[in-house]
């Protein structure tokens, strides 16, 4: 059934439906209400209390002309009556409303009750004039736009629901459904659109969520299973120089680092490709873990690649690799935006010939041009910055390389299990010895002079500072301009005797490198920067970060920025300058001052923002969820995990009853399958 043939859907309406994401009858059937009005309880007017949400059937008695209040707002009042009393409908700024009613007409009203000086009012009520057609139940309210009224949407959806048998099949086998006490899909959908009571509604929603989460978990497990069957990775033993290498490091590894490295080395030895996520809070020392894996790869004669999200970070990694691996004559190349064409071609040729052991660069550069001789290990730093697909592309060039993914974005454990269900996870849950907690303060802009005095004090003590300029969402250009201006102003007005450097996204990469180099070498005291320093940048001598307009940043981002300091043994400070007015902004500032635990912050972040950001396909390549929320529905998630596991273990995916479920998994994951297998 084509949606064009549904009663009430003309060309125009179809266009408006498209705007809501509805293109087919199936889309309409799965277009669920955003909330419900309980219109079941019709109460006598004399029983209504202030604040009640009430449904009333009454007759139009008096229609007053519009009035204008002192502030210019229109107020319209209409008196309704029935055998239980009088009630006044009050509408604001809708002067036309009076034309919608006729004296003597019987109407239905739904809204919030207010009792004022003996008068019973219903404020801005919803109303229905077609009393005969009225269904007094739980009334669904759909997400809508200004073109389509609730009435029209409702009508179209109910029309589409007539074809539900033709459009929807139940992908859950009956036996499974029955054993879990779940509704069949058709009842669930019909109930969600027209629930009889809230119990039935919640059971119906649960059924849909269950299905969504089950498909997802099955997809992940099936990917993992495929992956486990792969046996053609390079098996890379632990290099005999490993001990010497470890002894040569400038510090002793933490227990968490050692454990992670051990896990990685065991993985690399297998002929099944490693697929490991290393998660560690900012400053926990993930780089050395990556370097060690790359060292082991190179010493065995294989090539490795290290991808970073920004050029500045790639450059930094390149220098770290050079200095730590100098001794072993490992050949390392940096692919950078500013590398000349000639140089680049030369490097690419060398990589192809196997004359380069480790290549470092941004993901774009490495993916697009590079051909390897024997790529055996791919390390991705700050993985949350990469689309799953991009990673897949690079990997496809190699010979099933081992994959190591590093992330500082602290993903709550439960969520990590879910998102990376196909990966093994190592967690670095320990900071190197001697680190001190970063003290965080939230101050108003009026305190700025004091803050700058404090910055001066730190610099005079030999330390360095970051000053982060406001985030300008709309344009990197505007952001860069504001950074330029800020740095000028700071130099002239506050920090005359200090050296200020500037870093922003519009600078070319060699200029960026130069500034970073100078900052590292202490030729710059204060680095005024946009968020380009957000991830990965490591200058342990910097002990203070001042974040302007801190309210514009999300929690995760603030935590990352704060992670730029406290990377050495010096006491460090993070100062959030903000006018924070909204509750949400104040809450973020408070959380930042109270905790430095990335996991708690991530959990709060998700509470405040919802999981949407994580679960848009954009972020991770997994199918989108309509109703389920892996955080709020964690219990259901666990249940689906168990069910999915059983289905795989018992080989039920080849069972006829499970055919439709498996098909759905294939559909949902379609070509993402390969990427996810390898991410």
Q: Is 284 a binder of ligand ADP (CB under 6 A)? A: yes
Query: How many other β-carbons are positioned within 10 Å of the β-carbon of residue 494?
Result: 18
From 123-131, 531-539, 570-578, 651-659, give the range in contact with Mg ion by CB under 5 A. 531-539
CB 405 to ligand ADP: min, Å: 13
Q: Is 315 a binder of ligand ADP (CB under 6 A)? A: no
Q: Specify the residue for token string 């029209």.
A: 152
Which residues in 27-132 belong to E strands, given as ranges? 35-38, 53-63, 67-68, 74-82, 85-92, 106-116, 119-128
Tokens, residue 446: 């009026």
In angstroms, rounded to a whole number, what is the distance separating the alpha carbons of residues 538 and 277? 21
Q: Is 33 a binder of ligand ADP (CB under 6 A)? A: no
The binder of 487, among ligand ADP, Mg ion, none, by C-beta within 5 to 8 A per type, is none
CB 567 to ligand ADP: min, Å: 5
Please state at what angle helix 198-228 crosses helix 185-193, rounded to 10 degrees.
Answer: 130
* Dihedral sign for Cα atoms in the order 602, 607, 609, 612: positive
From 176-184, 247-255, 592-600, 619-627, give the range in contact with ligand ADP by CB under 6 A. 247-255
From 15-23, 283-291, 478-486, 492-500, give the range in contact with ligand ADP by CB under 6 A. 283-291
The binder of 567, among Mg ion, ligand ADP, none, by C-beta within 5 to 8 A per type, is ligand ADP
The binder of 283, among ligand ADP, Mg ion, none, by C-beta within 5 to 8 A per type, is ligand ADP
From 165-173, 342-350, 533-541, 599-607, give the range in contact with Mg ion by CB under 5 A. 533-541
Q: Specify the residue for token string 């993901």.
A: 363
Among 39, 206, 567, 672, binds ligand ADP (CB under 6 A): 567
CB 563 to Mg ion: min, Å: 9
Q: Is 23 a binder of ligand ADP (CB under 6 A)? A: no
Among 536, 563, 568, 598, binds Mg ion (CB under 5 A): 536
CB 287 to ligand ADP: min, Å: 3
In angstroms, rounded to a whole number, what is the distance separating the alpha carbons of residues 405 and 169? 39
Q: Is 280 a binder of Mg ion (CB under 5 A)? A: no
**DSSP letter string, 264-303:** HHHHHHSSSPPEEEEEE-TTS--HHHHHHHHHHHHHTT-E
The binder of 284, among ligand ADP, Mg ion, none, by C-beta within 5 to 8 A per type, is ligand ADP
3 state SS of 95? helix
Q: Tell me the backbone φ, ψ of residue 170, rounded to 5 degrees.
A: -85, 115
CB 288 to ligand ADP: min, Å: 5
273 or 283: CB nearest ligand ADP: 283
Q: Is 286 a binder of ligand ADP (CB under 6 A)? A: yes
Q: Is 432 a binder of Mg ion (CB under 5 A)? A: no
Nearest residue (beta carbon) to ligand ADP? 285
CB 568 to ligand ADP: min, Å: 7
Using CB under 5 A, count the residues that bind Mg ion: 1
**What DSSP state is assigned to residue 88?**
E
H or E segment and range at residue 262: helix 255-269
420 or 442: CB nearest ligand ADP: 420
Confirm if 41 and 102 have CB atoms less than 8 A apart: no
Binding mask 514-553 for ligand ADP (x = CB under 6 A): ------------------------x-x-------------
Residue 48 CB partners (closer than 8 Å, separation 6+): 54, 87, 113, 115, 120
Residue 14 CB partners (closer than 8 Å, separation 6+): 3, 4
Q: Is 554 a binder of ligand ADP (CB under 6 A)? A: no
* Of 496, 470, 497, 499, nearest in space to 483 by CA: 470
From 8-16, 252-260, 470-478, 482-490, give the range in contact with ligand ADP by CB under 6 A. 252-260
3 state SS of 504? coil
In angstroms, rounded to a whole number, what is the distance separating the alpha carbons of residues 375 and 372? 6
Q: Is 432 a binder of ligand ADP (CB under 6 A)? A: yes
409 or 611: CB nearest ligand ADP: 409
Q: Is 283 a binder of ligand ADP (CB under 6 A)? A: yes
Using CB under 6 A, count the residues that bind ligand ADP: 18
The binder of 410, among Mg ion, ligand ADP, none, by C-beta within 5 to 8 A per type, is none
From 61-69, 103-111, 281-289, 588-596, give the range in contact with ligand ADP by CB under 6 A. 281-289
111 or 536: CB nearest ligand ADP: 536
Edge-first strand listing for the sheet containing 358-362: 332-335, 358-362, 303-308, 375-380, 402-407, 275-280, 424-428
The binder of 254, among ligand ADP, Mg ion, none, by C-beta within 5 to 8 A per type, is ligand ADP
3 state SS of 583? helix
Query: How many other β-carbons are positioned within 10 Å of the β-carbon of residue 226?
Result: 14
Confirm if 382 and 408 have CB atoms less than 8 A apart: yes
Q: Is 282 a binder of ligand ADP (CB under 6 A)? A: yes
In angstroms, rounded to a whole number, what is the distance separating the alpha carbons of residues 350 and 651? 47
Q: CA of 657: how far to CAs of 481, 650, 652, in Å? A: 62, 13, 8
Tokens, residue 350: 């060398």
Q: CA of 89: how far to CAs of 47, 110, 226, in Å? A: 17, 10, 64
CB 317 to Mg ion: min, Å: 8
In angstroms, rounded to a whole number, what is the distance separating the alpha carbons of residues 250 and 561? 25
* Residues forming beta bridges with residue 89, ordered by sequence position: 78, 122
CB 380 to ligand ADP: min, Å: 13
Q: Is 621 a binder of Mg ion (CB under 5 A)? A: no
- Residue spans of alpha helices (H) in 150-254: 150-161, 164-167, 174-180, 185-193, 198-228, 242-248
Among 288, 356, 378, 545, binds ligand ADP (CB under 6 A): 288
From 182-190, 278-286, 652-660, 669-677, give the range in contact with ligand ADP by CB under 6 A. 278-286
Tokens, residue 362: 């941004």
Q: Is 280 a binder of ligand ADP (CB under 6 A)? A: yes
Distance of CA 613 to the CA centre of its chain: 3
Q: Is 287 a binder of ligand ADP (CB under 6 A)? A: yes
The CA angle 103-109-110, to the nearest 5 degrees, is: 165
- Contacts to ligand ADP from residues 580-639, by CB under 6 A: none
CB 294 to Mg ion: min, Å: 14
Q: Is 257 a binder of ligand ADP (CB under 6 A)? A: yes
CB 260 to ligand ADP: min, Å: 11
284 or 530: CB nearest ligand ADP: 284
Chain positions contacting ligand ADP, by CB under 6 A: 251-254, 257, 280, 282-288, 408, 432, 538, 540, 567
């Amino acid at each position: 059934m084509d949606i064009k043939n549904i009663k009430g859907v003309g060309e125009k309406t179809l266009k408006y439906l498209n705007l809501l994401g509805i293109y087919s009858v199936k889309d309409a059937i799965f277009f669920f209400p955003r909330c419900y009005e309980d219109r079941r309880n019709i109460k006598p007017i004399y029983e209504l209390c202030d604040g009640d949400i009430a449904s009333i059937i009454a007759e139009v008695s008096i229609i007053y002309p519009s009035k204008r209040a002192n502030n210019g707002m229109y107020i319209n009042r209409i008196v309704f009556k029935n055998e239980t009393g009088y009630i006044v409908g009050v509408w604001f700024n809708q002067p036309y409303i009076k034309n919608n009613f006729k004296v003597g007409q019987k109407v239905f009203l739904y809204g919030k009750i207010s009792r004022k000086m003996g008068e019973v009012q219903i404020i801005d009520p919803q109303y229905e004039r077609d009393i005969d057609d009225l269904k007094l139940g739980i009334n669904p309210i759909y997400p809508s736009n200004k073109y389509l009224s609730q009435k029209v949407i409702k009508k179209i959806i109910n029309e589409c629901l007539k074809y539900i048998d033709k459009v929807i099949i139940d992908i859950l086998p009956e036996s499974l459904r029955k054993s879990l006490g779940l509704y069949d899909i058709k009842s669930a959908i019909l109930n969600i659109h027209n629930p009889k009571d809230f119990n039935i509604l919640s059971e119906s929603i649960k059924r849909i969520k269950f299905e969504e989460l089950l498909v997802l978990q099955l997809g992940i497990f099936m990917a993992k299973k495929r992956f486990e069957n792969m046996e053609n990775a390079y098996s890379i033993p632990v290099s005999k120089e490993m001990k010497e290498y470890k002894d040569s490091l400038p510090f002793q590894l933490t227990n968490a680092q050692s454990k992670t490295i051990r896990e990685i080395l065991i993985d690399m030895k297998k002929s099944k490709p490693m697929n490991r996520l290393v998660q560690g809070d900012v400053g926990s020392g993930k780089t050395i873990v990556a370097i060690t894996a790359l060292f082991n790869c190179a010493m065995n004669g294989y090539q490795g690649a290290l991808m970073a999200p920004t050029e500045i970070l790639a450059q930094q990694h390149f220098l770290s690799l050079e200095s730590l691996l100098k001794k072993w004559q490992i050949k390392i190349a940096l692919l950078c935006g500013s590398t000349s064409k000639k140089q680049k071609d030369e490097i690419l040729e060398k990589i192809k010939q196997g004359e380069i052991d480790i290549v470092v660069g941004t993901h774009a550069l490495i993916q697009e041009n590079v051909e390897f001789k024997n790529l055996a290990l791919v390390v991705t730093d700050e993985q949350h910055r990469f689309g799953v697909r991009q990673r897949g592309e690079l990997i496809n060039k190699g010979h099933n390389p081992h994959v190591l993914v590093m992330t500082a974005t602290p993903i709550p454990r439960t969520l990590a299990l879910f998102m990376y269900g196909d990966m093994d996870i190592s967690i670095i849950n320990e900071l190197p010895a001697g680190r001190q907690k970063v003290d965080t303060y939230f101050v108003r802009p009026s305190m700025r002079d004091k803050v700058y005095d404090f910055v001066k004090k730190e610099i005079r003590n030999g330390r360095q500072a970051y000053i982060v300029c406001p985030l300008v969402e709309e344009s990197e250009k505007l952001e860069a301009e504001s950074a330029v201006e800020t740095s000028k102003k700071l130099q002239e007005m506050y920090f005359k005797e200090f050296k200020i450097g500037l870093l922003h996204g519009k600078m070319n990469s060699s200029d960026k490198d130069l500034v970073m180099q100078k900052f590292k070498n202490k030729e710059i005291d204060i680095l005024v920067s946009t968020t380009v320093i957000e991830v990965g940048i490591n200058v342990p001598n910097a002990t203070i970060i001042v974040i302007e307009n801190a309210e514009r940043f999300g929690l995760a981002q603030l935590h990352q920025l704060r992670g730029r300091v406290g990377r050495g043994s010096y006491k460090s400070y993070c100062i959030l300058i903000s006018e924070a007015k909204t509750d949400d902004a104040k809450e973020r500032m408070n959380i930042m001052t109270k905790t430095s635990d990335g996991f708690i912050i991530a959990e709060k972040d998700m509470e405040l923002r919802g999981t949407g950001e994580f679960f848009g396909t954009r972020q991770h390549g997994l199918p989108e969820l309509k109703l389920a929320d892996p955080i709020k529905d964690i219990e259901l998630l666990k249940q689906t995990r168990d069910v999915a596991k059983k289905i795989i273990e018992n080989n039920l995916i080849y069972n006829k009853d499970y055919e439709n479920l498996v098909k759905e998994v294939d559909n949902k994951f379609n070509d993402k399958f390969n990427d996810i297998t390898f991410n």
